[in-house]
């Protein structure tokens, strides 16, 4: 079969067996090819064309694609025992849980290992309710916590919520980075406040330095738990191991996923203190998962964390992120009619555009130039920059050349409107 035949067959299968609207959108964006192989910060399509990955699987590929230490760990485990019997002790899951207790903030100790970020959020919400015995959960507008029923109930965008209502009861949404709005709704019946330290899908919204500490104090005052959703921000993405570390805040429960699998395996986790784990200690089978904590995913996560530590990846993200941000801010100053604002921490960066519809144009331009980017789900005016944390400054410079050309084309387009 020729490469043209394989591309045609793949697109045809998307149209007939996955979703025709998705296939149409991909084609509209100029994505009429098939991804084929990847290494480091580079993805190649089936024809061998190279793309610099500036999206990183929405935060999955923090270590790049196919990091050799993660691949090696998974291959060894695959030959030994990929899945758990669920009856005998599982050493990779035990080792990973101990490692999570070591790297997470404060005295967070016990972990439940699942398969995804949304599962981690589901588990965290259940834990908050069973520990406190309270019904109410407060989330933020434009937040994103997943699309299963519990996680979707916390997610703060009506576009995703409305088609499935009524969702779970007891959920209230307030504006992000607005402590007064939180004060108006939090009370003694609040089980938890769930918040992303930096909103990802909401448009890479970075709060003021005093916001999370104030949320922490309010939770303490009312006996509510603070759940920090670090599915996207965690494990080095923002230039700290966890984004809450920027604000010196220790949550009661923290969720991780995406980068946890080292870009090789799907895995998620929620981690909490011994005190909060009390009901799960009393009744350990209240929350379970058939595939959660499987040895294959756990060894990938262990290897990923060790790579982050040994190769000083978090520190790289801080330095490269500052370098990238400086160049992007200069570009914004040169084209204020196209770029409204550049913001972020580490290598979690948002480029907010001035005009609706420009995001899709820029995506298409960048992809044609061999750079993979996307806009955020909750705010299509924001182009996200979330490359592998190992991306070199040389590759950043290449991205900036392509982005500058694309912004100039967008500038001309806007002038012609």
Nearest C-alpha neighbor of 198 from the set 150, 230, 239: 230
The residue to which tokens 């089980």 are assigned: 191
Q: Where are the beta strands (DSSP E) in 279-369?
A: 339-345, 348-353
Q: Which of 112, 144, 242, 270 is catalytic?
A: 144
Nearest C-alpha neighbor of 138 from the set 207, 211, 254, 225: 225
User: CA-CA distance, 80 to 106, in Å (whole number)?
Assistant: 35
Task: Indicate if 89 belongs to the active site.
Answer: no
User: CA-CA distance, 359 to 364, in Å (whole number)?
Assistant: 9
- Distances from the Cα of 347 to the Cα of 142, 238, 268, angstroms: 21, 6, 21
Task: Indicate if 229 belongs to the active site.
Answer: yes
Nearest C-alpha neighbor of 347 from the set 328, 364, 365: 328
Q: Where are the beta strands (DSSP E) in 57-174?
A: 110-114, 136-140, 171-174
Nearest C-alpha neighbor of 132 from the set 170, 80, 84: 170
Nearest C-alpha neighbor of 264 from the set 302, 222, 310: 302
Q: Which of 134, 258, 345, 381 is catalytic?
A: 258
Nearest C-alpha neighbor of 399 from the set 301, 317, 309, 331: 331
Instruction: Read off the tokens for 5.
Output: 């035949």
Q: Is 28 exposed, middle or buried (0-12, 13-18, 19+ CB in 10 A)?
A: exposed
User: How would you classify the pairing of strands 268-272 and 190-195?
Assistant: unpaired
Q: Which of 61, 229, 252, 270 is catalytic?
A: 229
C-beta of residue 250 within 8 angstroms of C-beta of residue 223:
no
The residue to which tokens 């090819």 are assigned: 33
Nearest C-alpha neighbor of 395 from the set 374, 375, 370: 370
Q: Where are the alpha helices (DSSP H) in 147-226?
A: 149-154, 158-161, 179-185, 211-222
The C-alpha torsion from 134 through 117 and 71 to 51, rounded to 10°, is -160
Catalytic residues: 144, 229, 258
């Amino acid at each position: 079969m020729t490469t043209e035949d394989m591309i045609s067959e793949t697109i045809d299968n998307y149209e007939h067996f996955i979703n025709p609207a998705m296939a149409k959108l991909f084609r509209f964006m100029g994505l009429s090819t098939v991804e084929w192989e990847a290494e480091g910060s580079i993805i190649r399509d089936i024809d061998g064309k190279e793309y610099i990955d500036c999206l990183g699987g929405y935060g999955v590929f923090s270590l790049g694609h196919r990091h050799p230490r993660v691949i090696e760990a998974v291959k060894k485990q695959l030959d030994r025992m990929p899945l758990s019997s669920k009856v005998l002790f599982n050493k990779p899951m035990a080792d990973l849980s101990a490692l999570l207790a070591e790297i997470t903030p404060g005295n967070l100790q016990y972990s439940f290992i699942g398969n995804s970020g949304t599962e981690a959020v589901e588990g965290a919400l259940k834990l908050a309710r069973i520990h406190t015995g309270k019904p109410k959960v407060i989330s933020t507008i434009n937040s994103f916590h997943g699309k299963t029923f519990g996680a979707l109930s916390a997610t703060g965008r009506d576009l995703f919520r409305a088609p499935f209502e009524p969702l779970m009861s007891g959920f209230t949404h307030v504006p992000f980075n607005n402590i007064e709005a939180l004060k108006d709704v939090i009370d003694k019946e609040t089980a938890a406040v769930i918040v992303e330290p930096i909103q990802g899908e909401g448009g890479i919204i970075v709060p003021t330095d005093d916001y999370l500490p104030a949320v922490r104090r309010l939770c303490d005052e009312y006996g509510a738990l603070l759940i920090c959703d670090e599915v996207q921000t965690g494990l080095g993405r923002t230039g700290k191991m966890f984004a809450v570390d920027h604000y010196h805040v220790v949550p009661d429960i923290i969720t991780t996923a995406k980068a946890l699998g080292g870009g090789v395996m799907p895995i998620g986790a929620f981690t909490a203190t011994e005190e909060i784990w009390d009901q799960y200690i009393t009744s350990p089978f209240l929350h379970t998962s058939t595939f959660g904590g499987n040895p294959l995913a756990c060894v990938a996560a262990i290897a990923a964390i060790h790579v982050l530590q040994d190769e000083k990846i978090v520190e790289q993200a801080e330095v490269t992120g500052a370098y990238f941000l400086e160049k992007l801010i200069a570009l914004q100053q040169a084209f204020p009619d196209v770029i409204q604002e550049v913001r972020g921490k580490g290598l979690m960066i948002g480029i907010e555009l001035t005009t609706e519809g420009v995001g899709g144009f820029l995506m298409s331009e960048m992809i044609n130039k061999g750079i993979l980017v996307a806009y955020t789900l909750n705010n299509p005016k924001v182009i996200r920059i979330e490359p592998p944390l190992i991306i070199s400054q040389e590759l950043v410079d290449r991205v900036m050349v392509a982005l500058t050309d694309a912004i100039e084309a967008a500038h001309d387009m806007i002038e012609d409107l």
